[in-house]
Structure 1
């Protein structure tokens, strides 16, 4: 009876809307929907992401009334995309799509394959009605999983599988390697043919121990669905510098070495891509030397990728080169030496973290009073007792 009522609800919801809303998915996937709702995917539009809005406010395309970020930041807004395609006024109007599901559940689970291009890739969506792609290691060859309500032992044992709302295609290998993320996250090139950000495609190699899915959508406790209870599910909060960063902190390793006249701190980036990809980010190592619990010396080292033109930092649309790049690369171990002779009375505090927005551009972006932009986010914090 419960399943029957759920099916009726979903059918009514679908028929009431030409556009399938993400909160429709909540009926069967409450935990996953809750994670999605707090994610950077749901909040990717200018109406939900103040940093993206600050950049867009300075973008020359705003004056031309062409929101060219829509392809990746609001791909669910079909009206906006259609206006862009037809060279009409295309600005992100504050509406339900923009505020509730700029990148929706159905959109991501409809990506059939990625078409690669030099400037930015294209997501190619399936044309099959109510057939969504997903990953399940036990059903990799299954292309059309349907809902089943089976019983055995004279009806005493019941087993449910599939969805009463849609079919599932588990055979798409891109959902296991992470390539389905690469329509938006592989690269972005500006009109100067300069790569603003780029992720090496080797990061999605199926033989890699770590890829987009395993790192940013790790398995966590909780059932994937309310129909068939499972112990774990893939995390749909999409761990990043914006959200659930603690899930990513484990890919950063810090070591300490005391020498006769100095000491070393090493940082290893175990991710398959550079530590931070967004040019606005600044990673920072903060060192505090204590003597008998009192701080006697502080030092900082920053790691940045600054883009610009003629040797000067600029906004992304003007950049044609890297002005500076000290960001820790994929799999790199960076060793930093500090010229200070430690003794047994010293303790060294090592803090590694980042700023979402480079403090040097806060004023230009008018984000000086935006807490999320000005906060130093701690990823790792360790104390080392000197000998």
Structure 2
């Protein structure tokens, strides 16, 4: 009987630990409603094949689909721990539509549990903390604090109240990677295919400067409190600004200027970010210029910027590629000047 009780207790503890692997992001909403709303509309929440139609289209063509091995899960749906475990055990691992795949493919708790990054040749690995309900975050005023706990302080005969920390979890503000943006580099720094060809790669130097890095650009401080427990004027944007989402937050890093010549004009595009305009293949940037002559609109030739990968000088899907077929993407800190052989009149506008 005692043996049965011990077994039941061990089973209960194991179930508890598994249940707490990743607390639902919906739970976070209670204290972080603004941040949760941003997250819910982000590419992180929509990273699965059930929420991202482009990712699904690529997956449907991927040879690993026939092998029933969704290796994309490492970065696209890391919150689905059952799927991740199947991959580790070399079992059949195909995404099933469930609440995790639909609502938190990359969850709040997953990202805030990243302790460090292991660098590897093909793709990096996120190392997660083993401590339960201890989450990493950045706070310049508390960055030496490793175990911030909830405090509800009362002073001046009960007239002044001050709350800090969270009643639901401990906060570790001491992780340097949450200040430099290195915590993003487990998934976003590089990816090689089986041909040892870089599908995408960004210099790790971009995650060293606390003044300008992944977080400061793609998660800028915006108006609104980070939590309902302690009201703040601003918080880090959790919608993750990108070329397809909240582009206005990134607009300040792209400077577009116009210069008129006697027989032509020039448009210059200055990329002030620390990486190429687009890092991944299957991306296209375009400059479209129209000349307005009164009520007439004249479309000039569109200029396209892209990095095309492939094999034998022909474009292919990423898993087949072993070389760059074409690359005229605007590079980091580059000022690209495009000349238009078009004579503008005094009343014309572009």
Q: What is the TM-score normalised by the length of structure 1?
A: 0.84
For residue 105 of structure 2, what is the aligned residue in structure 1?
102
State the alpha-carbon separation in 2 of the partners of residues 35 and 215 from structure 1. Answer: 16
Deviation string for 1:272-295 (max 9, x for gaps)? 111011211110001112222312
Are 1:293 and 2:300 an aligned pair? Answer: no
For residue 226 of structure 1, what is the aligned residue in structure 2?
228
State the alpha-carbon separation in 1 of the partners of residues 299 and 246 from structure 2. Answer: 32
For residue 204 of structure 2, what is the aligned residue in structure 1?
201
Match of 1:316, SS state, is coil
Query: Greater strand percent: which structure?
Result: 1
| CA RMSD across the alignment | 1.4
Q: CA deviation at 1:242?
A: 2.9
Q: CA deviation at 1:301?
A: 0.4
For residue 375 of structure 1, what is the aligned residue in structure 2?
none
- Give runs of aligned pairs for residues 15-164 of structure 1, distance below 5 A: 17-18=19-20, 19-164=22-167
For residue 344 of structure 2, what is the aligned residue in structure 1?
342
Deviation string for 1:20-52 (max 9, x for gaps)? 111111111111111111111011000010000
Match of 1:82, SS state, is helix
Go from structure 1 to structure 2 and tell me whether the alpha carbon gap of 1:290 and 1:166 turns closer, same or farther (over 3 Å shift).
Answer: same
For residue 279 of structure 1, what is the aligned residue in structure 2?
281
State the alpha-carbon separation in 1 of the partners of residues 348 and 109 from structure 2. Answer: 55
**Structure 1, 244-253 or 36-45: larger mean CA deviation:** 244-253
Q: CA deviation at 1:245?
A: 1.4
Are 1:265 and 2:263 an aligned pair? Answer: no
State the alpha-carbon separation in 1 of the partners of residues 19 and 312 from structure 2. Answer: 51
For residue 323 of structure 1, what is the aligned residue in structure 2?
325
Q: CA deviation at 1:17?
A: 4.6
For residue 366 of structure 1, what is the aligned residue in structure 2?
none
For residue 308 of structure 1, what is the aligned residue in structure 2?
310
Q: CA deviation at 1:16?
A: 11
Q: Structure 2, unaligned stretches of length 5 or more?
A: 1-15
Q: Structure 1, unaligned stretches of length 5 or more?
A: 1-13, 349-387
Q: CA deviation at 1:261?
A: 1.0
State the alpha-carbon separation in 1 of the partners of residues 18 and 269 from structure 2. Answer: 53
Q: Residue 288 of structure 1 contacts residue 299 of structure 1 at CA under 8 Å; is this kept in 2? A: no
State the alpha-carbon separation in 2 of the partners of residues 293 and 204 from structure 1. Answer: 49
Match of 1:182, SS state, is helix
**Structure 1, 244-253 or 63-72: larger mean CA deviation:** 244-253
Go from structure 1 to structure 2 and tell me whether the alpha carbon gap of 1:15 and 1:153 turns closer, same or farther (over 3 Å shift).
Answer: farther
Q: CA deviation at 1:236?
A: 0.5
Go from structure 1 to structure 2 and tell me whether the alpha carbon gap of 1:242 and 1:345 turns closer, same or farther (over 3 Å shift).
Answer: closer
Deviation string for 1:241-277 (max 9, x for gaps)? 2321111122110000001111110001111111011
Q: CA deviation at 1:343?
A: 2.0
Deviation string for 1:80-114 (max 9, x for gaps)? 11111111110001011111111000000000000
Match of 1:272, SS state, is coil
Q: Residue 115 of structure 1 contacts residue 123 of structure 1 at CA under 8 Å; is this kept in 2? A: yes
Q: What is the TM-score normalised by the length of structure 2?
A: 0.93
State the alpha-carbon separation in 1 of the partners of residues 162 and 54 from structure 2. Answer: 47
Aligned residues: 334
Q: Residue 285 of structure 1 contacts residue 300 of structure 1 at CA under 8 Å; is this kept in 2? A: yes
Deviation string for 1:112-132 (max 9, x for gaps)? 000000100000000111110
Match of 2:301, SS state, is strand
Go from structure 1 to structure 2 and tell me whether the alpha carbon gap of 1:242 and 1:296 turns closer, same or farther (over 3 Å shift).
Answer: closer
